[in-house]
Structure 1
């Protein structure tokens, strides 16, 4: 600071704050006898405050905060009775304040000495500053009891936090009673001290203008006084890290202006009252680390401004209310971990599109991880460890581009570790230990430096980097399928031709035998969960043509939504005007009611009703397959350069295996063998992951063995399948059926046994499918010479 400033004898205000001035405070400032206001705040001044400043007897305001000043504050300043503001915060002043320092500061209105190293007790003479409105002595080393402050009736802000005040005794909080005289008090902070004892009931008599009350980080015990609810002006209340017990008073429902409520790390018990729904202005609620019980109250949904919500480390039970996931305001954190919550994670978790931190760990949650979490595109930290979750890791996680931490450990997850996790560039922590995962561990991205603990307890995982010490992956699945393509083309063609001829012969024989026996149609349909006509009508926009996705001989298929399953479904509406449609409905229900396989379209529910015209209405509701039918991929009607529908060889081989697996299940693993009778590409549907599902069981044949004889149930009589076309896959169904019949009663038994000695029937099935798809693949890629 230039020395020439000391020559400005008439200078009344000197403000050089918020610069980069260095050195000590110049002593020549003591020559500015007319100075009223001196501001040196936010610079790099160091050393002690020069005593010559005490010559400024007219000075009213002095600001030296946010510097590197040391020593004790000059006691001579206490004799400047004209001072109204003293600001020395955020320096390195030490020592204690003299007990009588305030005897001569009767005009003092604001005192700031926060963030220093001042020790000792609070001078009792502070009660002489009757017009004091602001007192910041927080962030020091003050000790002892707080004197009675009842005479400071103009007190507006009192900050005593982050000191060593109190002795953990029952008298520590008696000064709060005196503060009931401070009718203008708006901020009171006594957090992070050693105050003990109970909160007095008189705390409810503090100023109704009190907006912020900080009580956390002490040793306060006992229950929360119900009278605290009288402070209806509170917008912030923190009581964390104490020893408070009992219940949360219902009088908290009066806090309609409350924005931040923190009661964490106490010993609170009982249920979270319905009063929580009254706190509609809340944006921060922390009740974690207590002993709360009961359910999460659904009326938490009234807190539509909530951004930070923590209930972790309690004893809460029941399911997570849907209302929690309707809080689209939750952008910061939702932590429900370490409770006893049960049930599924709702699909509506997708409403939390901007959530950054989601933790439901250490509960009893079950079911699948909802794929809709992939819509929470701002998610960075996702913790689900220690639950009963099952199924696969959803492919929708690929949308979480900003994901940093993902912990799915200690669940019952199956399937493989998705390769797309390698592409999440921000991923720095990943843990799937102690699940039932299998397959190959990725080696790129996060997995380049993965450690054993993140995949421990998954004995079927293989591969990965060498440091994981996992066995090499054996050749199976797709790799095994790829080996089959190197079989001799001559063997494939010969086997296919032989099976075609054999199938025709056996079909003729079977049809002749079938015409001699009566057909049994079971009228009994096991009870499926039913939905009303009105729900189907609403879910398809009145069965509009925009919802129509396909049609057949007996039915039309619509895309729609149902409240019952909360997802997109396929609705097959029977055309009961067509002959045989009613029987088709019965047979399809009988066929699907007791079967379940990953390669069969799963029936969800059905509808058998009368609609508004008094006519009979029947419909079946299935899982919706996003990628349509195999026929649409093999023979697309329209070609699109943006979204080409082509199948590579891997996908074709996998579809073959999926269809063969479905047939094997229907023919050999069901309690009652089932013959599809209309297997063709249009009846093979593909889901999001291009997994094939066999559908349309409307003309299915059910086989059952009774007293050593074989009977069958069917919905129609005569030749089955699509007229004018028989897909090679149909030969598989015929082959299975003929094999089943002839083993017991057919005259061609000896011939069939000879065939089985040459090549097993299942190999023949696979070779037919392989030949069919291989020839189509060569045809569609003939220009590529593959």
Structure 2
């Protein structure tokens, strides 16, 4: 659990206990009264304000055949048949709040939490003088808090949290003398907390976190004697904490993290606040020692001192037996002495501890054996960036439920203990920048759940361990800067490593050839084996690493020519072949690599002409020194001109041909050449999409992103890709976002950053992911940092819905036919916009399920524009290999330019996959077979056998069942079967091999909408 969100999390776990005291009795099933017509009309007006988006058909019961007191969500008083409660929580209703609600004058409870209401909160709600509970949280309401709400003098529960409200908290809030619970967190509120609020002595819960509130907290807060929960985190409050705060003896939750509070904490804070369960002061400027009374804070579950200026030693914490989360990260604790970690022994009594973080401090001395006595429930252990020395205790293996272990940047020595083999649930292990030695133990092969392993900057020796084939989920492997030797094991390049996108074996002593199996790393983005003793030729199979962006083979003894097939790696951004024994020419194809921004071929034995186009036009982007036989190139390289014979040999055939043709043909050729050169220059005058400036995008600081993700905590990691990692975060506005952090060790990540920012900067469509802001700066370590902030899609990717995790394999996600059709239509709508409605058509180039994201309403949004290209006559002749194997059209692999027809092909494959649940890369597709042919062979008579069996609801009985004779019988309606055939027919028409024979996107969208209308007019429904 992310500690930065604990306060909000706990607050929303609170029962809505007020409702049980104020909800009236249910209306009689056969009411004797006709009911108040005013209430009836008000409810109908409320229904009218709901747009047609009612996914659960909640309002279907709101009709004249039933008395309004029996409508869903309505409760009336038995005597007068007046509406007393309107509760429609969590139904995803979409619309604005009708002011006619104010006509429900007997209303006591209004709960519309967790819907999609937009617009402003009506001032008219102030007329509901009987209202006691008002909950509008988790919507998209905007505007200011209406002052008239403060006229609801009976209010006891007020919840406007998780909206888009702006402005100040009304000073009139002090008139709500009965208010007990106030939830305004996760909005965009600003200004000071009004002084009148401190007079609300009935308040027991205040949640104002994740806003832009400012000012100091006055001593008057001490008047709130009944306060039990206070959340002020992620705002702009400053100053010292008032002493009266420590006299609120009923306080259970105190969260003030991510503000600008200063000063020290009183030593007896946990004596005067004995009931504290959650205490968050992280990311402030609190100084001094840890309060001595912490040793007696027996009720604490969450203790967060992250990112402050605390100093001294950590006291004994053995009495904190309920402690679950403990963080001292980024302080000045410890003094690099042997006693610094003595407190670990006391933590053995904290049997519920699951997350423990002391990273980035001054803790020194050896890691005691008592580390192994910590709770067996511990999942996250952060010890990085301290001064811990000595060996790693064998006892640490007792913590066999660890998911993340970070011990990097310390002074650890000796070997990795064999007890690490017990970490069979480990996902992230980082031990880099220590003094560890010996062989990498084979027991690490037991860590089958690993997706990140970093052992770099140590003194490991010998060959790599066996058992590598067990790392089926590994994405990041860094063994650089060690003393490893021998040949690189073939297992590293085994097909089980298809998920690997980062591999760094540089600065070791590996010898022998680079295995041809390197081509099996078909998802590798960063591959570095520089500064080893590798020899032989560079294997031509490296061309199969189709997403490779950063390749370094420098500092070895490779010989022979540079494979021209490297020029097929169209995503290559950095190539370093320096300090080898390579000979021959520099491949001309390198000048056609569209993303290449760094090329180093220095200190080899190359000869011949240096090209002068593409990356070769920028002297600062290439290095060719130490090759005495190279010539030509741009003037800045200061190379000798190429001898006449070199030029003559190169063009010998052309001269001979020219000598044989007539003067008229020569003249024609010259004129054609002049025209071609003119067009080429004109094309080059327009910079490509990825070089456009991004200064029109608002920028956000690294600190803000760090705060939003709790320091990019692993708990917030929601995905990773070729260019970095994606985290879930929440800004001070309270809005959930997805933060795509680029791995700048990949030299091409910068251009991907520019490309994606600019591709989405000026385009707006409901089915395209939206770039909210970006960050281009430095992190706390003074390293370059770049990130893109996108809308957060709570339902994840289409791929997740098609292929749920193995843990859900026996209980598949309900993902029915109509949902899939809506998603396909959404994607078609996005493509139609990109291809036909933009000023210049935009080609996505990488359409696939993992790049289709779904919001809370299952509306699809096309994402990942890192490969997107503008289509114009100036670029259409550029040969680009774009996309992902299986989804990229066949013509791209033959050097054809990107085109709208290429996107249509990918869309066709997407359709076939969505409805058959067959990946285009499935093992069954061999020997020329593919997904298109697979469906085409079955079309149309045998398609039923190839539908995904979970397309339809199964509660009413099996829709597709297997007869005793093994034949599959369809029980679906003829209309639906006809629609399925039509959809797959579109998929086939889009994915034909010839680009000119594919459907036009306009026809695609029209046909898909016709299919949807056929279903709607046929009255066919699907129950999830």
TM bracket (short chain): 0.5 to 0.7
Give the 3 Å change call, closer, same or farther, for CA 489–180 of structure 1 in structure 2. closer
Kept in 1: contact 2:378–2:402 (CA 8 A): yes
Equivalent residue for 2:319? Answer: 151
Please give the residue correspondences for 1:619-634 in structure 2 after superposition, counting only pairs within 5 Å: none
Secondary structure (helix, strand or coil) at the match of 2:375 reads coil
Equivalent residue for 1:449? Answer: 618
Kept in 1: contact 2:318–2:348 (CA 8 A): yes
**2:581 equivalent among 412, 416, 419:** 412
Give the 3 Å change call, closer, same or farther, for CA 175–382 of structure 1 in structure 2. same
Equivalent residue for 2:363? Answer: 195
Equivalent residue for 1:42? Answer: 210
Distance, in Å, in 1 between the alignment partners of 2:276 and 2:256 is 14
Distance, in Å, in 1 between the alignment partners of 2:420 and 2:564 is 44
Q: Deviations over 1:349-401 (max 9, x none)?
A: 11111111111000001111112111111111111110011122222222222
Q: Deviations over 1:50-108 (max 9, x none)?
A: 22222111111111111111101122111101111111111111111011111111110
Distance, in Å, in 2 between the alignment partners of 1:414 and 1:205 is 60
Greater CA drift, 460-469 or 32-41: 32-41
**2:594 equivalent among 419, 422, 425:** 425
Equivalent residue for 1:340? Answer: 509
Distance, in Å, in 1 between the alignment partners of 2:393 and 2:500 is 33
Please say if 1:294 is aligned against 2:462.
yes
Please give the residue correspondences for 1:347-358 in structure 2 after superposition, counting only pairs within 5 Å: 347-358=516-527
Query: Following TM superposition, by how much is the alpha carbon of 1:332 offset from its aligned partner in structure 2, in angstroms?
Result: 3.1
Distance, in Å, in 1 between the alignment partners of 2:376 and 2:511 is 42
Kept in 2: contact 1:451–1:468 (CA 8 A): no
Query: Following TM superposition, by how much is the alpha carbon of 1:483 offset from its aligned partner in structure 2, in angstroms?
Result: 4.7
Please say if 1:12 is aligned against 2:218.
no
Query: Following TM superposition, by how much is the alpha carbon of 1:460 offset from its aligned partner in structure 2, in angstroms?
Result: 0.9
Equivalent residue for 1:160? Answer: 328
Query: Following TM superposition, by how much is the alpha carbon of 1:186 offset from its aligned partner in structure 2, in angstroms?
Result: 0.8
Equivalent residue for 1:667? Answer: none
**1:67 equivalent among 218, 225, 235:** 235
Distance, in Å, in 1 between the alignment partners of 2:475 and 2:583 is 34
Query: Following TM superposition, by how much is the alpha carbon of 1:128 offset from its aligned partner in structure 2, in angstroms?
Result: 2.5
Which structure has the greater CA radius of gyration? 1
Kept in 2: contact 1:298–1:324 (CA 8 A): no
**2:257 equivalent among 80, 89, 92:** 89
Please give the residue correspondences for 1:121-132 in structure 2 after superposition, counting only pairs within 5 Å: 121-132=289-300
Secondary structure (helix, strand or coil) at the match of 1:309 reads strand
Give the 3 Å change call, closer, same or farther, for CA 99–462 of structure 1 in structure 2. same
Equivalent residue for 1:367? Answer: 536
Distance, in Å, in 1 between the alignment partners of 2:490 and 2:515 is 7
**2:547 equivalent among 349, 358, 378:** 378
Secondary structure (helix, strand or coil) at the match of 1:396 reads helix
Root-mean-square deviation over aligned CA pairs = 2.1
Equivalent residue pairs, number: 493
Kept in 1: contact 2:596–2:615 (CA 8 A): yes
Distance, in Å, in 2 between the alignment partners of 1:481 and 1:334 is 39
Query: Following TM superposition, by how much is the alpha carbon of 1:22 offset from its aligned partner in structure 2, in angstroms?
Result: 1.6
Give the 3 Å change call, closer, same or farther, for CA 355–99 of structure 1 in structure 2. same
Please give the residue correspondences for 1:334-733 in structure 2 after superposition, counting only pairs within 5 Å: 334-451=503-620, 454-476=623-645, 479-480=648-649, 482-483=651-652
**TM-score scaled to structure 2, two decimals?**
0.47
Kept in 1: contact 2:189–2:211 (CA 8 A): yes
Equivalent residue for 1:737? Answer: none
Give the 3 Å change call, closer, same or farther, for CA 482–281 of structure 1 in structure 2. closer
Equivalent residue for 1:559? Answer: none
Kept in 2: contact 1:344–1:368 (CA 8 A): yes
Equivalent residue for 1:647? Answer: none
Q: Deviations over 1:193-246 (max 9, x none)?
A: 001111111111111111111111111111111111111111111111111101
Secondary structure (helix, strand or coil) at the match of 1:28 reads helix
Query: Following TM superposition, by how much is the alpha carbon of 1:44 offset from its aligned partner in structure 2, in angstroms?
Result: 1.2
Query: Following TM superposition, by how much is the alpha carbon of 1:451 offset from its aligned partner in structure 2, in angstroms?
Result: 3.6
Give the 3 Å change call, closer, same or farther, for CA 56–457 of structure 1 in structure 2. same
**TM-score scaled to structure 1, two decimals?**
0.61
Kept in 2: contact 1:25–1:45 (CA 8 A): yes
Secondary structure (helix, strand or coil) at the match of 2:214 reads strand
Please give the residue correspondences for 1:102-181 in structure 2 after superposition, counting only pairs within 5 Å: 102-181=270-349
Distance, in Å, in 1 between the alignment partners of 2:208 and 2:499 is 43
Equivalent residue for 2:442? Answer: 274
Kept in 2: contact 1:29–1:52 (CA 8 A): no
Distance, in Å, in 2 between the alignment partners of 1:158 and 1:276 is 28
Give the 3 Å change call, closer, same or farther, for CA 79–479 of structure 1 in structure 2. same
Give the 3 Å change call, closer, same or farther, for CA 485–161 of structure 1 in structure 2. closer
Query: Following TM superposition, by how much is the alpha carbon of 1:486 offset from its aligned partner in structure 2, in angstroms?
Result: 6.6
* Structure 1 residues not aligned, in runs of 5+: 492-641, 643-786
Query: Following TM superposition, by how much is the alpha carbon of 1:411 offset from its aligned partner in structure 2, in angstroms?
Result: 0.7
**1:328 equivalent among 497, 522, 525:** 497
Secondary structure (helix, strand or coil) at the match of 1:277 reads helix
Give the 3 Å change call, closer, same or farther, for CA 80–249 of structure 1 in structure 2. same
Distance, in Å, in 1 between the alignment partners of 2:561 and 2:477 is 28
Give the 3 Å change call, closer, same or farther, for CA 487–206 of structure 1 in structure 2. closer
Distance, in Å, in 2 between the alignment partners of 1:368 and 1:281 is 35
Secondary structure (helix, strand or coil) at the match of 1:71 reads strand
Give the 3 Å change call, closer, same or farther, for CA 473–55 of structure 1 in structure 2. same
Greater CA drift, 229-238 or 478-487: 478-487
Distance, in Å, in 2 between the alignment partners of 1:450 and 1:162 is 42
Equivalent residue for 2:191? Answer: 23
Q: Deviations over 1:598-647 (max 9, x none)?
A: xxxxxxxxxxxxxxxxxxxxxxxxxxxxxxxxxxxxxxxxxxxx9xxxxx
Please say if 1:233 is aligned against 2:379.
no
* Structure 2 residues not aligned, in runs of 5+: 1-168, 661-890, 892-1024
Equivalent residue for 2:966? Answer: none
Query: Following TM superposition, by how much is the alpha carbon of 1:328 offset from its aligned partner in structure 2, in angstroms?
Result: 2.4
Q: Deviations over 1:426-479 (max 9, x none)?
A: 211111110111111111111111249711001111111111111111233572
Distance, in Å, in 2 between the alignment partners of 1:66 and 1:45 is 9
Secondary structure (helix, strand or coil) at the match of 1:268 reads strand
Distance, in Å, in 1 between the alignment partners of 2:573 and 2:523 is 15
**1:184 equivalent among 349, 352, 357:** 352
Query: Following TM superposition, by how much is the alpha carbon of 1:36 offset from its aligned partner in structure 2, in angstroms?
Result: 1.5
Give the 3 Å change call, closer, same or farther, for CA 490–423 of structure 1 in structure 2. closer
